[in-house]
């Protein structure tokens, strides 16, 4: 960890200061691929910062994306839901925030702007997938237990990114109807995608805090260490091919 550096990146979107979190390996020479890390509905918290540092250890320049403004986070489902729904109800703003984060990452001297990917968790998975749907210049997009419903239907050939969806087979927050609709949407768009459903895994399976939050708030969440590791390995394999 000694060579992993971190700092906040600030930029303006629509008069709001976004405070995203950057992590990179300062000992690597040359420009490295960049990865946008889109957060759960809790916002840009320690969990997402930790994922950015993990990516930095793998040789990527990782930017934890502030989707709420001001680095805002939530510590309860009501506040998290309100913050998330404010973005989902105005995806023009959501798109502007994701694109601004991408520009900020690409502009850094340590980033190879021609090799950018996006990953996301839960709400962030939906954000990352919409980046692919919008045809953003992303080499790869990975959703971990993300929402799959679409607010934008891509035309055939519009999806440029290679897509990986890591889905919990027992995730009751993402119904089977949404799974089938997503697959049909990707097929119609001619997208290069892989959909992995992990048997028995619940929503939030990558986050060690998921089980505690499930008990505290009565939510159908659960951490699964094996599925966490397997889905991370699947992401790494995709990045090895695409970046």
Q: Mean of the pLDDT values across residues 144-168? A: 95
pLDDT-derived band of residue 185, with 50, 70 and 90 as boundaries?
A: very high
- Domains in the chain, number: 1
Give me the CATH number covering residue 24. Answer: 3.40.50.1820
Q: Mean of the pLDDT values across residues 124-148? A: 97
The SS3 call for residue 140 is strand
Write the DSSP symbol of residue 224.
Answer: -
In the prediction, which pLDDT does 216 show? 96
Q: Return mean pLDDT, the chain.
A: 96
What's the domain range around 135?
Answer: 4-242
Cβ atoms of 154 and 133 closer than 8 Å:
yes
Answer whether residue 2 shows pLDDT above 80.
Answer: no
Task: Give the model confidence (pLDDT) of 51-99 as tens digits.
Answer: 999 999 999 999 999 999 999 999 999 999 999 999 999 999 999 999 9
Please list, in sequence order, all residues whose beta carbon lies within 8 angstroms of the beta carbon of residue 50, skipping any fewer than 6 positions away. Answer: none
Q: From edge to edge, which strands make up the β-sheet containing 140-144?
A: 4-13, 16-25, 61-64, 32-38, 111-121, 140-144, 162-168, 193-198
Answer whether residue 145 shows pLDDT above 80.
Answer: yes
Answer whether residue 3 shows pLDDT above 80.
Answer: yes
Tokens for 50? Answer: 């930790």
In the prediction, which pLDDT does 205 show? 98
pLDDT-derived band of residue 151, with 50, 70 and 90 as boundaries?
A: confident
Closest by Cα among 35, 10, 6, 36 to 23: 6
In the prediction, which pLDDT does 1 show? 53
User: Residue 16 is inside which H or E element, if any?
Assistant: strand 16-25
pLDDT above 70 as % of the chain: 99
Q: Is 203 exposed, middle or buried (0-12, 13-18, 19+ CB in 10 A)?
A: buried
Q: How far apart are CA 160 and CA 99, in angstroms?
A: 15
């Amino acid at each position: 960890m000694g060579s992993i550096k971190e700092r906040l990146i600030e930029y303006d979107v629509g008069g709001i200061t976004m405070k995203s979190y950057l992590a990179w390996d300062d000992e690597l020479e040359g420009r490295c691929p960049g990865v946008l890390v889109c957060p759960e509905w809790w916002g840009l918290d320690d969990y997402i910062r930790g994922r950015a540092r993990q990516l930095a250890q793998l040789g990527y320049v990782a930017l934890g994306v502030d989707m709420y403004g001001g680095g805002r986070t939530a510590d309860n489902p009501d506040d998290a839901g309100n913050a998330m729904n404010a973005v989902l109800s105005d995806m023009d703003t959501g798109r502007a925030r994701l694109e601004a984060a991408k520009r900020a990452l690409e502009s850094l001297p340590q980033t190879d702007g021609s090799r950018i990917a996006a990953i996301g968790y839960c709400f962030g998975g939906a954000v990352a997938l919409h980046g692919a749907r919008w045809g953003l210049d992303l080499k790869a997009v990975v959703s971990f237990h993300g929402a799959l419903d679409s607010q934008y239907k891509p035309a055939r050939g519009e999806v440029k990114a290679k897509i990986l969806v890591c889905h919990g087979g027992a995730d009751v927050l993402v119904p089977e109807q949404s799974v089938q609709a997503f697959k049909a949407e990707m097929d119609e768009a001619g997208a290069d995608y892989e959909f992995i459903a992990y048997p028995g895994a619940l929503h939030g399976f990558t986050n060690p805090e998921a089980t505690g939050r499930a008990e505290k708030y009565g939510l159908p969440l659960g951490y699964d260490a094996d599925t966490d590791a397997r889905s991370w390995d699947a992401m790494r394999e995709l990045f090895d091919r695409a970046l």
